[in-house]
């Protein structure tokens, strides 16, 4: 099992309940493919480095999880088509 971090940037134009549902859906994807969510960091609303879809701010979430090496590809393919997710990135964390 490897340690991964999924960074998700969620639209600031949606309500709190919808935003929570998006993050729950991401966590469910991790568990669906055999991963185990260890932590979720919510950074809140931050200014974007550049305008994306006419938005200057968005909500940042970091989901830490343990999974096999095939899981991130499956998760990314599904997060890519999710509504209200404007950017995402899944990276493997090194054992330091």
| pLDDT of the residue at 96 | 58
Beta bridge partners of 46: 58
What is the per-residue pLDDT for 1? 87
Q: What is the pLDDT of residue 92?
A: 93
Question: What tens digit of pLDDT does each residue of 44-72 get?
Answer: 999 999 999 899 999 999 999 999 989 99
The DSSP bridge partners found for residue 57 are 47
Length, in residues, of the chain: 96
In the chain, the domains with their CATH numbers are 2-92 (3.30.70.60)
- Contact (Cβ atoms closer than 8 angstroms) between residue 26 and residue 92: no
pLDDT digits (tens, 9 = 90+) for 78-91: 999 998 999 999 99
């Amino acid at each position: 099992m490897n340690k991964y971090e999924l960074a998700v940037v969620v639209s600031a134009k949606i309500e709190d309940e919808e935003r929570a549902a998006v993050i729950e859906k991401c966590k469910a994807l991790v568990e669906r493919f055999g991963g185990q969510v260890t932590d979720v960091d919510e950074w809140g609303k931050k200014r974007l480095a550049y305008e994306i879809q006419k938005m200057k701010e968005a909500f940042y979430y970091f989901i830490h999880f343990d999974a096999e090496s095939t899981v991130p590809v499956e998760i990314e393919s599904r997060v890519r088509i999710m509504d209200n997710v404007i950017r995402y990135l899944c990276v493997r964390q090194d054992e330091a």
